[in-house]
Amino acid sequence: AWVLLNGILDEFLQQYGSLIPIHVDEVVERLQSVFSESFSSPHRKVMVQHLMQSYQRMSGTAMMRDFRVNYKRHVLTMDDLSTLYGQNWLNDQVMNMYGDLVMDAVPDRVHFFNSFFYDKLRTKGYEGVKRWTKNVDIFQKKYLLIPIHLEVHWSLVCVNVPERTVTYFDSQRTLNRRCPKHIAKYLQAEAIKREQKEFYSGWRGLFKMNVARQNNDSDCGAFVLQYCKCLALEQPFCFGQQDMPKLRRLMYKELCHCRLTL
């Protein structure tokens, strides 16, 4: 069985570059399906866990350094994917590729803005970002998703275009009043440029303060990506801090498969 276990772990390693997204239960399930006997007793589970850990420690196999995920113009390295491990902070590469996967799941409904967009808007004004949407008519979409990265914290703005609302989602519940104002001004400028008169005015800023809340300093990025996925798929937010380890593993896999698990 243990020789086979190494084979199973090798297979996961080829697929994901590391064992970061693999839960011991998945390995147990695979062993059970091959041997048609139970490996889920606490004693056997602990053994599987130990073998996974020693496998990870073996030189060279803990991580495939040259593992890459390519999707459109995105390239994720092992360094990028590792930000999904444990309590690490997600980086822009992960944020932007995942945002594209969200957008590509419902392309007619959603436009996802690159994580550098807001900073450019804040520092350079409309002139700095007016070319960012030259190939997309944002007023034809239902939702615009704009990740906000301020120093060390991620939050999200979701624009509901038909309802003209600019809603701020923050898992730490900090009130950033300037942010929706900046976005509303951007939307007005864009509407004027495109001569979309019905969008010249009437934008309202809202704060969603009763959203799933993080209770550490490291999961804000993971929360933002889950908000994006739920908003785009029009699903309720039914996750919280306790779900983050599982959701981080799922997002890692979604990135490697280049599609969302719906």
Question: Tell me: the pLDDT tens digits for 62-101?
Answer: 678 899 999 999 999 999 999 999 999 999 999 999 999 9
pLDDT over 90 percentage in the chain: 77
Q: Which amino acid is at 207?
A: F
Identify the pLDDT of residue 197: 94
**Proportion of the chain in helix, strand, coil states, percent, rounded to 5:** 50, 15, 35
Cα–Cα–Cα angle for 259, 236, 252, nearest 5°? 30
Output the pLDDT for position 58: 77
**CA separation, residue 19 to residues 49, 78, 84 (Å):** 12, 11, 12
Q: For this structure, is 170 an active site residue? A: yes
- CB of 28 closer than 8 Å to CB of 39: yes
Radius of gyration of the chain (CA): 21
- Judged by average pLDDT, the poorest of 55-64, 162-171, 220-229 is 55-64
207-222 per-position pLDDT tens digit: 876 677 788 888 999 9
- DSSP state at residue 102: H
One of 92, 153, 256, 257 is an active-site residue; which one?
153
* Token reading at 23: 């839960």
The whole-number pLDDT of residue 206 equals: 86
Confidence of residue 152 (pLDDT cuts 50, 70, 90): confident
Name the active-site residue from 170, 179, 219, 228. Answer: 170
Name the helix (H) or strand (E) containing 52: helix 42-57
Cα separation, 166 vs 179, in Å, equals 9
Contact of 19 with 52, CB cutoff 8 Å: yes
Going from the C-alpha of 114 to that of each of 14, 97, 183, 200, 251, the distances in angstroms are 29, 9, 14, 24, 18
Spell out the residues 6+ positions from residue 89 whose beta carbon is closer than 8 angstroms to its own.
83, 152, 218, 220, 221
The 10s digit of each residue's pLDDT in 99-126 is 999 999 999 999 999 999 999 999 999 9
Q: Are strands 165-169 and 68-71 parallel, antiparallel or unpaired?
A: unpaired
pTM over 0.85: yes
Strand partners of residue 149: 154
Give which of 216, 204, 195 is closest to 89, Cα–Cα: 216
* Residue 167 main-chain phi, psi, to 5 deg: -105, 135
What residue has token string 């009437």? 202
Q: Which of 113, 132, 138, 120 is nearest to 199 (CA)?
A: 138
Q: How does pLDDT run across 238-256, given as a tens digit for each residue?
A: 999 999 999 999 999 999 9
Give yes or no for a contact between 56 and 24, defined as CB atoms under 8 angstroms apart. Answer: no
Per the annotation, the verdict on 153 as an active-site residue is yes
Alpha-carbon torsion, ordered 73, 74, 77, 80, to 10 deg: 150
In whole angstroms, what is the distance from residue 21 CA to residue 39 CA?
20
Q: Does the pLDDT of residue 174 top 80, yes or no? A: no
- Quick one: average pLDDT of 135-147? 97
